[in-house]
Amino acid sequence: MSDVVIRVEGLGKKFKLGTSEPYYRLSEAIVGLARHAAAFPKRLFSSSTSSDASNNIPAHAPNEFWALKDINFEVKRGDVVGIIGRNGAGKSTLLKILSQITEPTEGRFGIKGRVASLLEVGTGFHPELTGRENIFLSGSILGMSKFEIKRKFDEITNFAGTDKFLDTPVKRYSSGMQVRLGFAIAAHLEPEILIVDEVLAVGDAEFQKKCVGKMGEVSKSGRTILFVSHNLAAVRSMCNKSLLLQNGIARFFGDTDHCLKEYSNSFRQPIQNHAAHLGSQIHILNAYVDLPDERLLTTDDRVTLKLVYRVSQPQITISIGLAVYREGELLFSSVNRPGASETPDPFYKIPMDPCVYICDCTLPGYFLNDGDYFITFRIYDNSNNTIAETSGIQLTIHDSATMRDDYLGIWQGMIRPQLSWNTYRQDHTLAENNYET
Amino acid sequence: MSSNTAEDGFRYYGPRPNWQWVDVAELWRFRELIWTFAQRDLKIRYRQTAVGAVWAILQPLLTMAIFAVLFGLLTAKPTSSGIPYAITCLCGLIPWKLFEGTITASTTSLVQNQNILQKVYFPKMILPLASLIPPLVDFAIAFCLLLVLMPFFGVAYSIKMLALPLVLIGLLAVSLAVSLWLSALNAIYRDVQFIVPFMLQIGMFISPVVYEMNAIIPEKWRWLYSLNPMAGVLELFRWSILGLPAPSFSSLAISLSGTLLLLLGGMFYFRRMERFFSDRI
C-alpha cells in the first residue's frame, strides 16, 4: 500500500464550448454586464421558478464537453505507465491535470514525491539567449535548483553534444540542436515522478536511441514514469503498465500487453457497409478488413481485404480492382487478373450465376508501414467500365517491433517492405580493378 | 491548484475554492524562479542596444529636461521648496520610472510567457513578482546618478535618507498591487494592454512626479489627491531624499490604507483568476 505514489480518484475535466465561455474582451464584459443589468427588472418581476430554472445548468448542456470523466487509477513506485488512445481521447488533458497545469473539474489526485513534467522539449528556451544561459533558464523552469544545474552542467552539454556552441544564441542553432539541448536538460532532471508527452517523436534517429536509453535508465533507477505516446513499439518495450483512454473514459488500466490488445479491439468495431450501387445487376453488400483474431494489425501481418457482393442476373462476367491510398495519394492499385495474382482467381471474367460472392485480396506482411490507409474496391464489367465501387475503407496498421530491433524512431515512408540485405567481402585486386577504371 | 494538507504522505490536488489566500510557502519554494525570470528579462533588455544600461539614466534625464523646458516656457512654478527643479523632478521621475516599468512589463507578463504556463506548473504570481526586478536595477542606476548630481546642484544629502529603504518597500508594494490586478485582467481581457499606456500617462500627471504636491494641489483637495497611492509614496521620496516636509498624517494614512487594500485585493483576485489562466490565456 505504501508503495503507491500516484492516486487518481474520480478525475474529470469539463470544457465549455462556444458562447458559454466567459468574456475574453473587456468590451464583451461590458456588454455582458449591460445585458445583465437590463435583465434585472425582468428578473424582479418574473416568478421565482423561472429564475431557478436559469440557475440550474442542464445536465447535458450542448456546449459542454467532458474531455475526461471519472478516471481512477493508482501507480506504484517504479512503474512505467504508458497512456495510449486515439487523438482526442483525453491523454494530453490527463497529463496537463497531473502536471497541475490545468485544474480538474471534479475528483482529485494525490502525489507522493517530486514531480517533473516534460510536455515539450526545450521548455522556456529564449532564442536570444546563449546555450549556456538557456540551460540555466530551462532547467530552472523545469524545477532544478541552480546548484543542481551547475553540478550537472557538463553532463548535460556532453549529452546534447553542443559543447562548441555554448556561447552562441540559441536562435542560431539548428532545430535538431535545439531539440538535443532541450532533451538533455530534461533528461537530467531527477524527479521521483516523471510525466512525459511524446517527446520521442522528435529528433534524429541516433538521438532518439539515446533518449530511449536514458528513459530506460531512469525507470531502472526506481523512478516512476507516466508516458503518453502513439508509438506502440516504444510503449510495449518500456511500459509495464498502460492506461487506455477512449473518449475521455478509462477503458483499461493494467498490464501493457493486455492494454494494447484492448486498444486493438477498439479498432475492431464493425466497418459500415460503404457500398455504393452503380449497376442493377451487381450489389456490393460489404467491404471490410478481415481481422481474424483479437489482435491489432501490425506491419508484420498479412492483411486480408474482403468484398462481399450479390450477383442478381445470370451469366455476368466481371473483374475486381482495388486501390490503396495513403495521405491522399494513390499508393498502388491491383486487379484480380491472373497475371496480377499469385494464384489465379477462379471467377475472373468467368460467367457467374446469381448468388452472394466473397472476394478476398491479401496483402503480404512486412509490406505496409504503420499508419492509416484507405482502400476502395471497384467492380468492372467485361469492357472495363466501373459498375460498382465502394468508398474508402480505413485500414490502420500498427507498428511492430520486429523490424526495428533497437530503433524506436519514426519509420519514414509510405511502405515498409522487408528487403534482402547482404554485405560480403570482395577480393582486393578485383575490387580495385572494378571501381578504379 | 489546491494542495490539501498531506494525508498519508500524499499531496492532494482537486478543484479549489474560489477565494484563497496566497500560498506564501509555495512562493518561497519557487523563489529561485523569480530570479531566473528576472535575469532572463534583464539579459534580453539591453541586448542589441548601442548604449545598453545607459538608457536607465537617459530616460529620466531626458524626461526631466523636457519638463524643465516646458515649465520654463510656461513660466510656471511646479515647485515650492526652492530646490533646483532638476533635482526635485528627478526625485519624482526615478521612482515613477520604476512604477511605470513594472506595470508595463507585468501587464503582459502572463501573456508573453503563455507557452511556458501551458507546459510547466509554477505559481503564476512569480511572473508579476519577477517584473519588479529589472526596473529595480534601473532604479538603482538612476539613483546613483541622482546622488552624483545633488552636490553638483548644491543640494545637501538629508539624514532622512536612512528611511529610504522603507519608502522603497512602499513603492514596490504599490507597483506589485497594480501589477497583480493588471496582469490577471490582461490574461483574460487583452484590452488591458492597450489601456495601460494611457493610464500611465494620466497617472504621471495626477501624481507628484514632475511637480511638488504642495506647489500645485490646493489644500482642500489633497485628501482626494491622496487616494492615488503613488501620491503618498512620491512625496515620501522627496521627504527622505531632499528633507522636504513630510506629507500630512491624514493623507499618508489614506495612501497607505489604499495601497494595502489594493494589494490584498490584487492578491485575492490574482489567486482567483490563476486557475483559469492556462485554459483561457
Q: Quick check: is A329 in a domain?
A: yes
Q: What is the distance between the alpha carbons of residues A274 and A289, in angstroms, rounded to a whole number?
A: 12
The residue in chain A having the minimum alpha-carbon distance to the alpha carbon of residue B187 is A24
Which residue carries 445470370 as its cell? A314
A142 interface with B at CB cutoff 8 Å:
yes
pTM of the entire structure? Answer: 0.73
Q: Quick check: is B121 in a domain?
A: yes
A145 interface with B at CB cutoff 8 Å:
yes
Q: Quick check: is B129 in a domain?
A: yes
Q: Do A109 and A174 lie in a common domain?
A: yes
pLDDT tens digit sequence for A164-179: 889 999 999 888 888 8
Give the range of the structural domain holding residue B188, as residue numbers without chain letter: 23-268
Phi-psi region of B8 (alpha: psi -120 to 50; beta: other; left: phi over 0): left
Q: Quick check: is B136 in a domain?
A: yes
Q: Quick check: is B54 in a domain?
A: yes
Confidence of residue A36 (pLDDT cuts 50, 70, 90): low
A123 interface with B at CB cutoff 8 Å:
yes
Confidence of residue A49 (pLDDT cuts 50, 70, 90): very low
Residue A17 has pLDDT above 80, yes or no: no
Q: Quick check: is A215 in a domain?
A: yes
Q: Quick check: is B275 in a domain?
A: no
CA dihedral B49, B51, B55, B58 (to 10 degrees): -140
The CATH number covering residue A217 comes to 3.40.50.300
> Contacts of residue B190 in chain A, CB cutoff 8 Å?
24-25
Q: Quick check: is A425 in a domain?
A: no
Residue A55 has pLDDT above 60, yes or no: no
Residue B173 sits at φ, ψ, to 5 deg, of: -65, -45
Q: Quick check: is B280 in a domain?
A: no
Q: Quick check: is A50 in a domain?
A: yes
Q: Do A226 and A97 lie in a common domain?
A: yes
Residue finishing a domain among A238, A266, A294: A266
Q: Quick check: is A435 in a domain?
A: no
Q: Quick check: is B199 in a domain?
A: yes
Kindly state the DSSP code that residue A340 receives in the 8-state scheme: G
What is the pLDDT, as a whole number, of residue A28? 61
Confidence of residue A140 (pLDDT cuts 50, 70, 90): very high
Give the range of the structural domain holding residue A25, as residue numbers without chain letter: 18-62
Q: What is the distance between the alpha carbons of residues B243 and B231, in angstroms, rounded to a whole number?
A: 17
| Beta-bridge mates of residue A323 | A333, A376
Residue pairs spanning A and B at CB distance below 8 A: 104
Q: What is the pLDDT along chain B (281 residues), one digit of tens a residue?
A: 444 555 577 888 888 877 778 888 889 989 999 999 999 999 888 877 888 888 888 999 999 999 999 988 888 788 888 889 999 999 999 999 999 999 999 999 999 998 899 888 999 999 999 999 999 999 999 999 999 999 999 888 888 999 999 999 999 999 999 999 999 999 888 889 999 999 999 999 999 999 988 888 888 888 888 888 898 899 999 999 998 888 888 888 888 898 999 999 999 999 988 887 877 76
Q: What does chain B come to in residues?
A: 281
Q: Quick check: is B18 in a domain?
A: no
Characterize A103-123 residue by residue with b for buried, 16 or more Cβ atoms within 10 angstroms of its Cβ, and e for exposed.
bbbbbbbbbbeebbbbbbbbb
Of B10, B32, B192, the CB nearest to A146: B32
This complex has an ipTM of 0.85
DSSP result, B218-246: -GGGHHHHTTSHHHHHHHHHHHHHH-PPP
Radius of gyration of chain A (CA): 29
Determine whether the interchain pair A124/B116 forms a contact, defined as Cβ–Cβ distance below 8 Å.
yes
A348-351's contacts with Cβ under 8 Å and 24+ in sequence apart are A348/A319, A349/A317, A349/A318, A349/A319, A349/A382, A350/A317, A351/A314, A351/A315, A351/A316, A351/A317
Q: Quick check: is A33 in a domain?
A: yes
pLDDT tens digit sequence for A371-430: 888 888 888 888 888 888 887 788 888 887 777 777 777 788 889 998 999 998 877 666
Q: What does chain A come to in residues?
A: 437
Q: Do A389 and A316 lie in a common domain?
A: yes
The CATH number covering residue A301 comes to 2.70.50.60
What is the pLDDT, as a whole number, of residue A149? 93
Phi-psi region of A328 (alpha: psi -120 to 50; beta: other; left: phi over 0): left
Kindly state the DSSP code that residue A370 receives in the 8-state scheme: S
Q: Quick check: is A6 in a domain?
A: no
Domain tally for chain A? 3
Cα torsion angle, A413, A415, A416, A420, sign: negative
Residue A272, classed as helix, strand or coil, is coil
Q: Do A79 and A112 lie in a common domain?
A: yes
Q: Quick check: is A404 in a domain?
A: no
Domain tally for chain B? 1
